[in-house]
Amino acid sequence: MTRQPITDNRQLFSRRTRWNPTPNRLSLLLHELRQRNAPTIDLTESNPTRAGIDYPLEELSAAMARAARAAYDPHPLGLRSARETLAAELRCDADDVVITASTSEAYSFLFKLLCDPGDNVLTPTPSYPLLEHLAAMEMVELRHFPLEFHRRWEIVPSNIPIDHRTRAIVVVNPNNPTGSFLTADEQRAIAATGLPVISDEVFLDYPLEGRGSTFAGAFALGGLSKSAGLPHYKLGWIRVPDRGALAPLELIADNFLSVATPVQVALPEILALAPRIREAIAARTRTNLDAARRIVGGAAQLLPVEGGWSAVIRMPRTMSDEEFALDALERHDVVIHPGYFFDFEREGYFVVSLLTACEDFEEGLSRVLQGMRDEG
């Protein structure tokens, strides 16, 4: 008997893949403009390799060329030599380090380690929306609690909604997009819950108006994507607080063996070059933050930026965040992130990347704010 084809793919694929978001008006307009090659200023650029950052390309190429000769000898937790190199950088023991292909993969491993399907993990908002998808891929529920803005963005421990299916708390230190570091008191309050903590510290090397510290006792995540401005080199890590987690993590990692050998072998040379790249990125973000302080005024407010690559601007709620972003694109040819993209609790925010080329940043932000003043 010939089997009839199934035309509804929802019958074929798991619930993990049942995302069919309706494209919003901003995405549709941006796609249309890019199809027509219309000139726009993109104030959302977060890829340092596309932001005109000066890289030591010859040295990086030579390091990777030498490493490409290494034989394939996979180790689930990462090559011992690479783990020792990272341990020296992180000031811990090599046996406390697990190497992954990215921070996203590190989250995936830790959700597998800590959660069964139907369990939940908690994370504050506003925050970058990636976690929602990563949790859904593991059939884990992501629950939110608010960052509250007073003089700075703060975590209020009584707002953390723990229940019997809660398996971990995820924090981003400093947060993306608010740029707020976790204070020592906040770290102590979160640790006092007794739950495992996953601390995403990819932006920790980029202080601006403040300075943070690693979350002791947490599964701390980092990677070359931000610390060396090399997202395409695909190497991240987990600093593990409990060596009892190493055996199950090794079992998980052994089923993937995803980290490329050359980037691990070249890691000492890459990390030796990383400070030069970080300083170029930090100079860019500091310059743009200074420009934002000069440009933002009147009805708008540049909120404190303690670290990271983003800035949050608060504005009068005369229209929705989506309408404001559409107006910036339609009338001023400028791309910004509306606040709802990051789950701000209410309207009246937009987010810009401090990684943008400096001339574009000043011109684009000036256009957006002048348009707002003209409307006012």
Confidence of residue 376 (pLDDT cuts 50, 70, 90): low
Digit-coded pLDDT (tens) for 106-142 = 999 999 999 999 999 999 999 998 999 999 999 999 9
Domain boundaries, the chain: 21-53+274-375, 57-270
169: enclosing H helix or E strand: strand 166-172
- Average predicted confidence (pLDDT) for the chain: 93
The reply to whether omega before 174 is within 30° of 0 (cis) is yes
Residues 57-116 have pLDDT tens digits of 999 999 999 999 999 999 999 999 999 999 999 999 999 999 999 999 999 999 999 999
What pLDDT is stored for residue 375 in this prediction? 66
d(CA 234, CA 259): 7
Q: How far apart are CA 304 and CA 134, in angstroms?
A: 29
Higher-scoring residue by pLDDT: 35, 221: 221
Whether the per-residue pLDDT at 24 is higher than 90: the answer is no
- Name the token pair of 255: 């089923």
* Amino acid (one-letter) located at 23: P
Q: Kindly state the average pLDDT of the residues 147-167.
A: 95
pLDDT at residue 236 is higher than 70: yes
pLDDT reported for residue 346: 92
Q: What is the pLDDT of residue 1?
A: 44
pLDDT digits (tens, 9 = 90+) for 179-199: 999 999 999 999 999 999 999
Portion of the chain with pLDDT greater than 70, in percent: 96
DSSP 7: -
pLDDT at 301 over 50: yes
Please tell me the predicted confidence (pLDDT) of residue 9. Answer: 61
pLDDT at 373 over 80: no
pLDDT band at 20 (very low <50, low <70, confident <90, very high): low
pLDDT band at 8 (very low <50, low <70, confident <90, very high): low
Q: Is the dihedral of CA 109, 113, 116, 118 positive or negative?
A: negative
Residues 256 and 252: their CA atoms lie apart, in Å, by 7
Burial class (CB in 10 A: 0-12, 13-18, 19+), 23: exposed
Residue 332's pLDDT is what? 93
Predicted pLDDT of residue 106: 98
Q: How confident is the model at residue 29 (pLDDT cuts 50, 70, 90)?
A: confident
Mean pLDDT of 310-338: 93
Mean pLDDT of 168-189: 97
The DSSP string of 98-162 is EEES-HHHHHHHHHHHH--TT-EEEEEES--THHHHHHHHTT-EEEEEEEEESSSEEE-GGG---
pLDDT at 10: 61
Is it true that domain 57-270 has CATH number 3.40.640.10? yes
pLDDT for res 5:
53
Choose the weakest-confidence range: 6-10, 52-56, 128-132, 297-301: 6-10
Residue 140 one-letter amino acid: V
pLDDT score of 161 more than 90: yes
Does the pLDDT at position 371 exceed 80? Answer: no
**How would residue 317 be classed by pLDDT, with cut points 50, 70 and 90?**
confident
Please name the amino acid found at residue 61.
S
Inform me whether the pLDDT recorded for 218 exceeds 50: yes
**In the structure, how many helices (H) and strands (E) does the chain have?**
12, 14
CB 187 within 8 A of CB 174: no
Domain spanning 21-53+274-375: CATH superfamily:
Aspartate Aminotransferase, domain 1 (3.90.1150.10)
